Structures are given as C-alpha cells and as structure tokens.
C-alpha cells in the first residue's frame, strides 16, 4: 500500500464577501482535489484541541498522528529540532521574529520578508552585542529565528504570536507572567541595537520595512517523540520548506526531502514539490507534501492569491501524485489543510478544517467537491484530530 498526505496549509476559510459568500476553496478550480472528494470520502477533523491556540504547530502534530496534549510544548522547540539545536532541561527556546513596529503598532510581522543574508547579519550582531545575557540567538529562515535562554526555570511567560495582532498596539500584547520583566528588557535592548543597524539603514533608504524589533513567542522545552515508524509501522518522507514542519518530521524520525525552489512562500516551486513527491513514492510507504502558500495569502488578506495557491497545489502537486499512485495496486491519498486562515481576519482559526481521502477500500458517500460546507455535511467527523492519521492508514 502506498499513501500520500498533501497539506495545503491554511487553505480552509470563511465566506468571502467579494465572492458572494463563497470561500476560496469553493471558487478555486481544483479538479484533482475534487476527484478525490467525489470518488472518496470527505469530512472534518478537530486538529486544534480545546485549550490550545490555533496554529500550525498543534494542527500539524494532529495531522501527523501525534496528540498535542502529549507532544506539544511550544512551537520553538519543534523548529529547534529542525536546526539540530540541542538543549538542556533548564533552557527555554523562543521563536524570535524580526518584525517592524511603527508608531507602537505591529506593522509587519515579517519585517518586509527580510532577506536571509540580512537576517543572518542581524542575528550575528545580536549575539555579539548581547553576549553574557544568558541567551543565544540562532538564525532560521528570513524573519523566523530562534532564541535559547539558559537558567530559565524562573521564566514562565505567556506570549502572543505577532501575526495574531497585525496593525494593533504591541503594548497590549507584551509577554506576561513570571519572568516577563527579563524578557521585555531583552526585547528593549535588541530594539536599541536594531535602531541604527546597518541593515536597517539600507532598508529604510530603499523604502523597505526595517527589522526594528525582535518579538519573542512560541516558547517551550524539547520533548522526546515516539517515532512514526513505531507508531504506525510505516516509513515516511516529508517535503516542506517550513522549519516547524521539518522539526516535527525529524522528531518523529521521518525522512526529510529537500526540494530546490521550495520557499514556504507564494513563490514556491509547486512543480518541483510534486515531482519530488512522485519520485519518493517508490522509496517510502507514506509521502507527505506540505505547502505553506495558502496560509501566507490568508495572513496577507489576499483572497485572489489564496485561490491561485490552491489551484497551483491542485495542478502541480495533487494531480501528479494522484496519477502516480494509480500505478500501484493499492494506494490511498489524503488532502487536508491543517487549520483555516481566513482572509477576512488574517488569523488562524480553530474551526475544524475539511479533508478528503480516496483509494483502496474507500467508498464514496457524499459525491461532491471539497468545500467547508460539504465537509460539514459529511458523516465523517474525526475528534480528536490526531485519530485521522490512523483512520487514513488503517481503516
């Protein structure tokens, strides 16, 4: 049996006024995805359990078959796993965004999608200037970086992701709880360093958003995972450009397949991802393809770009993978967003996302295209969401 899981991150949505109350999934031309839905089953799964903030960290864990209540202790430790960063029990790992704060507002949580070279220069200088402050900065991808804090037993702060309050006052969303004073002082020291940083002077001259601040969030400590092979008895490979998903895959002992041109943004090479997935099917029982672009479009509030991303995934990933699977005697395919990222709110939502699956021993019940409404009408509702993987592989 061959399996494929395709994750169009954040593709689910809410009715959009400009489309007469339809969602991007309803508007997008996605014949391959709809073939899966019409010839197989569709439903919804609770990928974000009650008590958790909606985010790809918790939701991807669920889609990979891991209970967030057991395996989740913050986004940052999962990203640290992708970077091979090892920590001790007294160390706390933070996600460290480079952001643009203007007039006290979170103007841009990506600092204008700052380049890798610029980001690495800033991170190196922060390490040099803040040496001895019991912390170490680690470069990630663009604005997405990490901070490891030592002797952190006294820190138990609550932090808000910067993408959750775009154009809102940062004063209303500062870290709170035990240890918040030290965290806020570190952020302020970083602001003073970045104020006249060479990188930011050039960016301002070019009319680009500067990396005016660091924003700390997603903190936690590393956890040990049961391997995917141990859990399900299958080999698995994962294709993604996002460190969070890479970290979850590595924590679960899954093989990472790097794809040149895969960026994690709207400009990602969809065709290269699809081709890599097809080639991996011969070597692995399960191939997972994660595509971040619908989520990026949702955060930008751009419904047209979101539709374009969904269509590109359908044409260049779902289509080739589905065609390749049909050459095997037994196969199954599952297509599921991790969570909705509505273009109206530009925020993640905990609403259970729709999914569809087809293949061996999967019989059609509701022969309709994959949409949020159709999935809600289905009799297949998976709760908790981490049971979806076992249903997909075993039932």
- Same domain, yes or no, for 37 and 64? yes
- Same domain, yes or no, for 310 and 366? yes
Q: Which domain holds residue 169?
A: 89-220
C-alpha angle 359-364-365 in degrees, rounded to nearest 5? 145
* CA distance readout (Å), 394 to 37, 231, 332: 19, 12, 11
Domain boundary among 178, 202, 220: 220
- Same domain, yes or no, for 243 and 357? yes
- Indicate which CATH number applies to the domain containing 12: 3.40.720.10
Split into its structural domains, the chain has a count of 2
Residue 81 in domain: no
For 44, phi then psi, to 5°, come to -135, 155
Residue 298 in domain: yes
How confident is the prediction along the chain (395 residues), in pLDDT tens digits per residue? 999 999 999 999 999 999 999 999 999 999 999 999 999 999 999 999 999 999 999 999 999 999 999 999 999 999 999 999 999 999 999 999 999 999 999 999 999 999 999 999 999 999 999 978 899 999 998 999 999 999 999 999 999 999 989 999 999 999 999 999 999 999 999 999 999 999 999 999 999 999 999 999 999 999 999 999 999 999 999 999 999 999 999 999 999 999 999 998 899 999 999 999 999 999 999 999 999 999 999 999 999 999 999 999 999 999 999 999 999 999 999 999 999 999 999 999 999 999 999 999 999 989 999 999 999 999 999 999 999 999 999 98
Tell me the C-alpha distance between 209 and 197, whole Å: 13
- Same domain, yes or no, for 58 and 112? no
pTM (two decimals) = 0.91
Residue 267 in domain: yes
Residue 80 in domain: no
- Same domain, yes or no, for 109 and 41? no
- Same domain, yes or no, for 97 and 67? no
Residue 262 in domain: yes
- Same domain, yes or no, for 135 and 157? yes
Residue 241 in domain: yes
Residue 100 in domain: yes
């Amino acid at each position: 049996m061959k399996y494929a899981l395709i994750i169009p991150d954040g593709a689910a949505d809410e009715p959009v006024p400009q489309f007469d109350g339809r969602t991007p999934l309803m508007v997008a031309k996605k014949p391959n995805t709809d073939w899966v839905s019409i010839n197989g089953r569709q439903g919804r799964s609770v990928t974000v359990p009650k008590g958790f903030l909606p985010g790809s960290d918790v939701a991807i864990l669920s889609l990979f078959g891991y209970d967030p209540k057991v395996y989740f202790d913050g986004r940052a430790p999962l990203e640290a796993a992708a970077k091979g960063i090892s920590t001790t029990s007294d160390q706390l790992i933070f996600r460290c965004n480079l952001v643009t704060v203007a007039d006290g507002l979170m103007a841009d949580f990506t600092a204008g999608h700052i380049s890798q070279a610029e980001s690495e220069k800033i991170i190196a200088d922060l390490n040099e200037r803040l040496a001895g402050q019991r912390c170490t900065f680690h470069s990630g991808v663009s604005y997405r970086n990490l901070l490891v804090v030592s002797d952190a037993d006294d820190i138990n702060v609550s932090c808000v992701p910067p993408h959750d309050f775009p154009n809102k006052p940062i004063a209303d969303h500062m870290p709170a709880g035990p240890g918040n004073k030290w965290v806020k002082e570190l952020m302020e020291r970083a602001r003073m360093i970045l104020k006249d940083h060479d990188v930011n002077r050039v960016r301002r001259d070019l009319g680009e958003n500067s990396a005016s601040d660091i924003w700390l969030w997603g903190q936690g400590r590393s956890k040990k995972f049961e391997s995917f092979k141990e859990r399900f008895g299958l080999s698995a490979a994962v294709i993604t450009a996002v460190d969070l998903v890479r970290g979850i895959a590595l924590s679960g002992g899954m093989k990472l397949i790097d794809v040149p041109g895969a960026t994690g943004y709207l400009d990602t090479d969809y065709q290269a991802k699809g081709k890599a997935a097809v080639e991996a099917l011969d070597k692995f029982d399960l191939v997972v393809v994660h595509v971040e672009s619908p989520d990026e479009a949702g955060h930008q509030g751009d419904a047209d770009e979101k539709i374009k991303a969904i269509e590109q995934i359908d044409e260049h990933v779902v289509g080739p993978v589905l065609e390749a699977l049909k050459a095997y005697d037994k196969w199954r395919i599952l297509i599921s967003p991790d969570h909705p990222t509505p273009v109206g709110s530009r925020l993640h939502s905990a609403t259970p996302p729709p999914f569809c699956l087809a293949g061996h021993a999967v019989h059609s019940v509701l022969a309709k295209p994959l949409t949020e409404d159709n999935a809600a009408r289905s009799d297949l509702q998976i709760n908790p969401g981490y049971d979806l993987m076992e249903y997909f592989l075993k039932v």
